[in-house]
Amino acid sequence: MIKKIFLLLIMPSLLLSGCYYGNLSEDDDRPDYVVAIHGGAGWILKENISEEKEAAATAKLNEALEAAEKVLQNGGHAVEAVEAAINILENDPLFNAGKGAVLTAEGTAELDASIMNGEDQNAGAIAGVKHIKNPISAARLVMQKSKHVMLAGEGADNYAADNGLDTVPNAYFITEARAANYNKNHPDKAPVHKYGTVGCVALDSKGNLAAGTSTGGMSDKEYGRIGDSPIIGAGTYAHNETVAVSATGHGEWFIRHAVAHDIHAMVEYNRWTVERAADFIIHRKFKYYDVNGGVIVLGKSGNVAMPFNTPGMYRGYLKSTGEREVKLYGEE
Amino acid sequence: MIKKIFLLLIMPSLLLSGCYYGNLSEDDDRPDYVVAIHGGAGWILKENISEEKEAAATAKLNEALEAAEKVLQNGGHAVEAVEAAINILENDPLFNAGKGAVLTAEGTAELDASIMNGEDQNAGAIAGVKHIKNPISAARLVMQKSKHVMLAGEGADNYAADNGLDTVPNAYFITEARAANYNKNHPDKAPVHKYGTVGCVALDSKGNLAAGTSTGGMSDKEYGRIGDSPIIGAGTYAHNETVAVSATGHGEWFIRHAVAHDIHAMVEYNRWTVERAADFIIHRKFKYYDVNGGVIVLGKSGNVAMPFNTPGMYRGYLKSTGEREVKLYGEE
C-alpha cells in the first residue's frame, strides 16, 4: 500500500514538479582531491595556433595542475592549491594574467584577481594593480590579513607591497607581443578584445572548495575599468556545500548576471547538478544573450564541468583517482 | 478524469516537492508605481537622536520619496526615479553618501555607487571617486554611455568629468562633523564603523524595476577599499521578473554572500515571496553569522520588505495607491 502511494503520489511529484532534475553525487565517491584550471576562452582554433605554441600551452597547463596537485597531495588547503596553479600561469606570458597581460587604452597593464575559500566564504580581491608581480597572491593576502574583501588601485598596490609581496615595474608585465599589438591597434582605434584570463578551482582532502581568477582584463579597456575577475559572485565563487567557480569571457555580462554566484544558487536552490548549472549558463543564457565565454565548475563531490561556447578554451583537470585531461580546442 | 489525474498527480507534486513555498502576488494588483528608500542601518535609537535631527531626517526621506514619485507620476523610468531620490540624499550631509561621507584612514572622502536596470540587467558602478558631486549619477552614466559596468578611482572621476558631470574638490564632501570625528578617533586608532549608506528601489508604471546604492563607505577604511555598495550582486541588484534590492551594513559580508543577487535567486529559484527572502537574509543568515545591516526589497508586484537587525534604519516607501511610511527606529 505504501509502495502504491509512493508510486502514485511521491514519484510523480518528483518527476513532474520540475524541481528534482538531478541528483547531487554521493560524497562516498569523492576523490581525495581534484583541481581544474582554465587559461581563457576565445578564438582558439587548431589552424591558428603553431605546434610550438600548442605544445607550450599544454605543458604550462600541466605544470599548473601539477603545482596544485603537489599542494593537495601534501594535505594542503584548496586555497593554497589555487594560488599555486595560478602563480604558474601568471608568470607565463602566454596568458592574459600577470606577465603578458593585455594593455589598457593608455598602454599600461592593470591587473585584477580574486580568490574565495568555500569553507567560510572568506574572500579577497584586488583590482587595477600595476606593480604586484602575482595578483592572485595579493588577493589571498587581502582575504587573510585585511579586514576588507576588495582593494583597488594604488591602495591595493601599497597594501601588498607593505606586506612583503614581490613588486615589479609596470613594464615587467608588458611583453613584446602585447606592445606590438597595442601599437598596431591603437592609432586606428580598432579594439582587440583579447581574452585569456586564468582561473583555478580545487577540492582538498578535507572537502574544502576554493576558486580563484586572475586577469589583465580586456585590451583597450578604459583606465580604471574593473571586469568580473575581481568581483566575488561574478568571476569567482566558492561554497563547500555546492561549487567552486571561475569564469572567463565578456566580463561586463558576467557582472550583470552574477554568473559565479548564480551557478552556486542553481545548485543550492534548484538542486541541479554541477553539469546542468554550468551548461544552463553557457549553452542557454549565453545563447539567448549572444555572449561568449566559459566557466570551470567543481562540485563538492569532485565532479568537474568546463563548458564554453567559443571555438576553444585552454583548460584541464586532474583528480587523485588518476583521471586527467588537458585540452585547448572545442569538440576534440 | 483529467481533474482526478490533476488531484492525484500534479497537486501533490506541488505540495510535496517542497518547491512551491509562496505565491508571487498577481500583477493585477500591482500599483502604478512604488518607491522605497533607505538611509542606512545602525545604532539609530530614539534616545540618541535630537528632535531636530529626527525631524530633519524624516523631512529629507520624504523629500527623496517625493522626488522619485514626481518622476514616476510623469511616466519616467524606474532608473530615473532611483537617481532622483538618491541625489537628494547624497546632497544632504545627514547621510554617509556624497556630502557628509565618512573619511578613510587617510582623511579623504572616497565614494562608491551602483545602479541597475531590472529591464535588461544593464548596470553601472563607480568606486573610490573623489570629485564627482553625485556618485549615483556617475554610476548611471557608466551604465548608459560606457561599454563597461564598473570604473574605479581616477579613471572613474575623469570619465564622469569628461562626460559633463559636476565635479567638486574633495573638501566639499567633508563636513565639520565628519572631520571632528576623524580627528577625535584617528590618533588612538579607534575605528568608528559608522554606516549610513543610502539606497533606493523603484517600480515604474511599465513594470520596470531598478535599484541603486550610494555610500562613503566604512569610516577609517584602507585607502582603495571597495565595499558592497558598488558591487552588482552584493549591494545592488534588479531584475524585472523578481526584485530590486539595495543593501546597507557590513559590506564585506554582503560581498562574500552576494546578498542582493541571493535575494533575487531565492525569489527566482525557490519561488519565495519578497518578504520571505528578505527575512531569511536578515533574521536567519545575519543571526547565524553575527552580522548587522538591512535591506530594502521591492518585488515585481509592488510589495515592499525592509527588514534590518540593527536598532534602527532610516527608511520609507510610498505607493501610487497612497500607502506611505517613513520610519527611523525599530519596533515603532
Asked if the structure places residue B282 within a domain, the reply is: yes
Q: Does B151 contact A256 at a Cβ distance shorter than 8 Å?
A: no
pLDDT at A186: 55
Mean pLDDT to the nearest integer, A75-79: 98
Mean pLDDT to the nearest integer, A21-49: 80
> Which of B16, B223, B232 is facing A13, going by the closest CB pair?
B16
Average pLDDT, rounded, for chain B: 89
Q: Does A148 contact B261 at a Cβ distance shorter than 8 Å?
A: no
pLDDT at B195: 65
Q: Does B151 contact A224 at a Cβ distance shorter than 8 Å?
A: yes
Tens-place pLDDT, residues A278-298: 999 999 999 899 999 999 999
Tens-place pLDDT, residues B22-81: 444 446 689 999 999 999 998 888 998 899 999 999 999 999 999 999 999 999 999 999
Q: Are A245 and A201 in contact (CB under 8 A)?
A: yes
Percent of chain A with pLDDT over 70: 87
pLDDT at A18: 38
DSSP assignments along B135-182, one per residue: HHHHHHHHHHHSS-SEEEHHHHHHHHHHTT--B--GGGG--HHHHHHH
pLDDT band of residue B4 (cuts 50, 70, 90) is low
Asked if the structure places residue B76 within a domain, the reply is: yes
Pick from A63-72, A116-125, A187-196, A223-232: least confident: A187-196
pLDDT at A27: 63
Mean pLDDT to the nearest integer, B78-93: 97
Pick from A86-100, A251-265, B80-94, B95-109: least confident: B95-109
Asked if the structure places residue A176 within a domain, the reply is: yes
Closest residue of B to A21, CA-based? B17
Closest residue of A to B238, CA-based? A256
Q: Exactly one of B104, B197, B215, B273 is catalytic; which is it?
A: B197
> Which of A237, A255, A262 is facing B232, going by the closest CB pair?
A255
Mean pLDDT to the nearest integer, A251-256: 96
Q: Does A234 contact B233 at a Cβ distance shorter than 8 Å?
A: yes
Q: Total structural domains in chain A? A: 1
- Nine cell digits for residue A41: 576562452
pLDDT at A176: 82
Percent of chain B with pLDDT over 90: 75
Mean pLDDT to the nearest integer, B118-126: 97
Whether residue A75 has pLDDT greater than 50:
yes
Q: What angle do CA A157, A160, A166 make, to 5 degrees?
A: 95
Pick from A279-288, B6-15, B303-312: least confident: B6-15
* Torsion from C-alpha of B290, B296, B299, B305, nearest 10 degrees: 70
Whether residue B16 has pLDDT greater than 90:
no
Asked if the structure places residue B324 within a domain, the reply is: yes
Whether residue A181 has pLDDT greater than 80:
no
Mean pLDDT to the nearest integer, B89-108: 90
pLDDT at B117: 98
Whether residue B151 has pLDDT greater than 80:
yes
Q: Are B65 and B33 in contact (CB under 8 A)?
A: no
> Which of B13, B255, B257 is facing A12, going by the closest CB pair?
B13
pLDDT at B58: 97
Whether residue A204 has pLDDT greater than 80:
yes
pLDDT band of residue A221 (cuts 50, 70, 90) is confident
Specify the higher pLDDT residue, A186 or B273. Answer: B273
Q: Does A13 contact B8 at a Cβ distance shorter than 8 Å?
A: no
Whether residue A275 has pLDDT greater than 60:
yes
Closest residue of B to A256, CA-based? B121
Strand partners, B17: none
Closest residue of B to A218, CA-based? B148
Query: Which residues of chain A make contact with B258, given a CB cutoff of 8 A?
Result: 232-233, 237, 258, 261
> Which of B14, B149, B252 is facing A148, going by the closest CB pair?
B252
Estimate to the nearest angstrom the gap between the alpha carbon of A136 and the chain centroid.
11
Mean pLDDT to the nearest integer, A216-240: 91
Tens-place pLDDT, residues B206-249: 999 999 999 998 877 878 999 999 999 999 999 999 999 999 99
Asked if the structure places residue A209 within a domain, the reply is: yes
Asked if the structure places residue B193 within a domain, the reply is: yes
ipTM: 0.89
Domain with B288 in it = 29-329
pLDDT at A12: 45
Measure in Å the smallest separation between the Cα of A67 and chain B Cα atoms: 27
Tens-place pLDDT, residues B245-257: 999 998 999 999 9
pLDDT at B102: 86
Q: Does A261 contact B266 at a Cβ distance shorter than 8 Å?
A: no
Asked if the structure places residue A122 within a domain, the reply is: yes
pLDDT at B25: 43
Asked if the structure places residue B19 within a domain, the reply is: no
Q: What is the largest CA-CA distance in chain B?
A: 80
pLDDT at B61: 98
Specify the higher pLDDT residue, B122 or B21. Answer: B122
Q: How many residues does chain A have?
A: 332
pLDDT at B179: 78
Task: Give B174-180 contacts, CB < 8 A, sequence gap 24+.
Answer: B174/B101, B174/B103, B174/B109, B175/B93, B175/B99, B175/B100, B177/B93, B177/B100, B178/B100, B178/B101, B178/B102, B178/B103, B178/B109, B179/B103
Q: Does B222 contact A148 at a Cβ distance shorter than 8 Å?
A: yes
Whether residue B14 has pLDDT greater than 50:
no
pLDDT at B162: 97
CA dist., res. B113 & res. B140, Å (int): 9
CATH code for position A292: 3.60.20.30
Within 10 A of B142 (CB to CB), how many other CB atoms are there?
27
pLDDT at A194: 58
